[in-house]
Amino acid sequence: MISNCIQLLVQDLELACEPALQAMTKISWLHFDNVGDQSSYVTQIIMHLKNTVPNLRDNLASSRKYFTQFCIRFANSFIPKFIQNIYKCKPISTVGSEQLLLDTHMLKTALLELPSIGSDVKRSAPTTYTKVVIKLMTKAEMILKLVMAPLDGNLEGFVSQFLQLLPESTIAEFHKVLDMKGAKLSKAQMSSLDALFKQITKAASGENNK
């Protein structure tokens, strides 16, 4: 019963943040001239967190474990959605990628402070929660660093770099990053990259199983 209630609270907050995520994908990322402050969609998301989370924290003050559960579930659900929306931010320029990376960093900072957001008492967030946020938001940051990384004809090198930064990623995610980069590849080049991707991941899993 409590688990269902927590899930409903998570869904409510996600729903409030949804318009901001939609706005993120409608920005013309290709035409950025310079990196500025955080984008308005990030400000909107942080505003929703500040408007919602303090009340929840106060209401669950006697059961901190349930509040921690809420924070962890929200991070585990919201951040993957944020990443899916990153993939939709295309076409994107290098400067646009830098702005999106700045936005991602600002959101990561806000999420790490989520358990004490809007509180006069600053206490450390539970380690179980911070681990989730750092792992998932670091993935978002790595995706954008790969979007900014040059291909320069060194396609094999890019595959290695991709798997070094995102070792747990799928070939579908690899294709999404190439798509964001606007990579113009022939079918033969794509087949070659896919084969190399599978070869490296197979070798890596073999090493891990030793």
State pLDDT tens for residues 133-191. 999 999 999 999 999 998 877 888 999 999 999 999 999 999 999 999 988 889 999 99
DSSP per-residue string spanning 42-109: HHHHHHHHHHHHHHHHHHTTT-HHHHHHHHHHHHHHHHHHHHHHHHTS-S--HHHHHHHHHHHHHHHH
Query: pLDDT per residue over 187-210, tens digit each?
Result: 999 999 999 999 999 888 776 666
Q: pTM of the full predicted structure?
A: 0.93
Query: pLDDT per residue over 86-136, tens digit each?
Result: 999 999 999 999 999 999 999 999 999 999 999 988 889 999 999 999 999
DSSP 168: T
Cα separation, 96 vs 29, in Å, equals 5
Cα separation, 193 vs 177, in Å, equals 13
Cα separation, 169 vs 176, in Å, equals 11
Cα separation, 208 vs 132, in Å, equals 23
**What pLDDT, on the 0 to 100 scale, is given for residue 49?**
98
Query: Would you call 11 helix, strand, or coil by DSSP?
Result: helix
Cα separation, 53 vs 162, in Å, equals 36
User: Hey, how many other C-beta atoms are within 10 angstroms of the C-beta on 207?
Assistant: 8
